[in-house]
Amino acid sequence: MTLSNADNTRTVAPGKSARTLALIGIAAAIASYAVNAMDRTLFPLILPEVAKEYNFALPEAGLMSTVFTIGMALAGLPTGFLMSRYSRKSVAQAGVFIFSAVTILTVVARGFGDMLVYRALTGIGEAMQLTALLAIVSSYFSRHRGVAIGALNCSFGVGAILGPMLGAAMLSEYGTWRAPMIGFGLLGFLFILLVAALLPRSVSETLPVARSDSAGIGGAPSLTNRNTALLILLSLLAGLAIFGFLGMYPTYLRQELHFSAADAGKIMSIYGLGVLLSVAGGFFGDGYPVRPTLSVSFLVAAAIGWLLFNGPATFMAQAAFAFAFGVMFSGTIYVNLAAYHLKSVAASLSGRASGVFVTSFYAAASVACYSIAWLATEFGWMFAGDVQLCAACLAGIVLSLFLDPKSMAQPLSKN
């Protein structure tokens, strides 16, 4: 049965109890996104075991770790088409189903080829879920979209904290990397049931409330403008840096610094704590002009990137650097790049601008692990980190200075 937005969009019933039930349903939907993060931070942790069993070379292992981003980059437009015919809730649940089913299928992979396909398909599932969830939370909380999207990103942070901890524990308990993969896949199916039971379609299909005081003025009339072009380049750089870290940093900790799987898992969980500050990162971007926001963020990020591979190799030092990485890269740069893509164009183009951000960011992310692994193989981990994290951020500083804040959309008044 197909659904159209016009036929199935409702207004949430007034009253405290109705709103409480709506918030519970949305909380369940947001929480479901943490399962994706759990897998994303788990797979790099178990990558040494996977690579050893299947005899993957380091570049091949790096590609395996981030190939899901290809699926994410390609699935945006089809997901938009699906949401014009089916409810957002159904699309989100379908995304979780695909993600969870293929996560479990990964454990029966016979070699590099079919495992690569499985990992890429998880990206399609995640793109469907994320796109639908962004529509749900930004529409229901239309007056506080930044905070709502920040909360969704915080859910990723929660998953990034729990994933390595639970994954390392299951890896130690059962002695096989397949155990946490199956466990996390089954957890996804549980969240499908929770969202089905707790999230009413009257909430998930709510349209934004039109408000004159929240409207924006300005912004380019098309996507072919200077700011969007620069932001695409900045998103490419950010995708290379962030996913180079997420995909291969645990391998660096275990193989180069000789940390145990448990300690590497703890450090990646501490990274997730930094992501929990995404809402604060969004407030930072809203409070200051685009040039200083991004240039300062990339400057601090460059220093963090250098310290990760050149600084002290103790557990406490690496944990501190990982936390700072979560705050600055995932909690600040990622959030504000997404926001500036939307601000760079007129409100009528916000959906397309969001798609441009997802495509550019995840297209770069799809090769991030392979490139940093190749650099590490050829020139060593220190050089790889200096190029893909530090140098990429230095380039980001320069590009940020050429952005034109006057051409970006501005609110009519502050809420």
Rounded Cα gap, residues 312 and 415, in angstroms: 45
* Residue 1 covered by a domain: no
Can you give the pLDDT at residue 13?
42
Domain CATH number, residue 89: 1.20.1250.20
- Give the pLDDT of residue 212: 39
pLDDT of residue 135: 73
- Determine contact, residues 353/365, Cβ cutoff 8 Å: no
Give a yes or no: residue 342 inside a domain: yes
Q: Looking at residue 410, what is its pLDDT?
A: 66
Q: Residue 26 domain-assigned?
A: yes
Percent of the chain that is helix, strand, coil (3-state, to 5): 80, 0, 15
Residue 343 maps to a domain: yes
**Tens of pLDDT, residue by residue, the chain (415 residues):** 344 443 344 444 446 777 788 888 888 998 999 988 888 778 888 888 898 899 988 778 877 877 888 888 888 767 766 777 888 889 899 999 999 999 999 999 999 999 999 999 999 999 888 878 877 776 677 566 667 777 888 888 788 788 888 888 898 889 899 999 999 999 999 999 999 899 888 777 765 444 333 444 567 788 789 999 999 999 999 999 998 898 788 889 988 899 988 888 888 878 878 888 888 887 787 778 889 999 999 999 999 999 999 999 999 999 999 999 999 998 889 888 877 877 787 766 665 667 677 778 888 887 888 888 899 989 999 999 999 999 999 999 999 999 998 888 765 444 4
The boundaries of the domain holding residue 127 are 17-405
Beta-carbon contacts of residue 347 (< 8 Å; ≥ 6 apart): 215, 216, 219, 409
The answer to whether residue 414 sits within a structural domain is no
For tokens 């939307």, the residue is: 342
Inside any domain, residue 411: no
Count the domains in the chain: 1
What is the number of residues in the chain? Answer: 415
**Model-level pTM?**
0.74
- 159: nearest Cα among 244, 271, 324: 271
Would 30 be classed as within a structural domain? yes
66 falls within a domain: yes
- C-alpha closest to that of 133 among 86, 187, 97, 88: 88
Measure the CA dihedral 31/80/73/118, to 10°. Answer: 70
pLDDT of amino acid 209: 47
User: Directed axis angle between helix 178-198 and helix 16-54, to 10°?
Assistant: 160
Q: Which of 197, 188, 399 is nearest to 291 (CA)?
A: 399
Amino acid 84 reads: S
Report the C-alpha gap between 330 and 333 in whole angstroms: 6
Q: What pLDDT score was predicted for residue 314?
A: 93
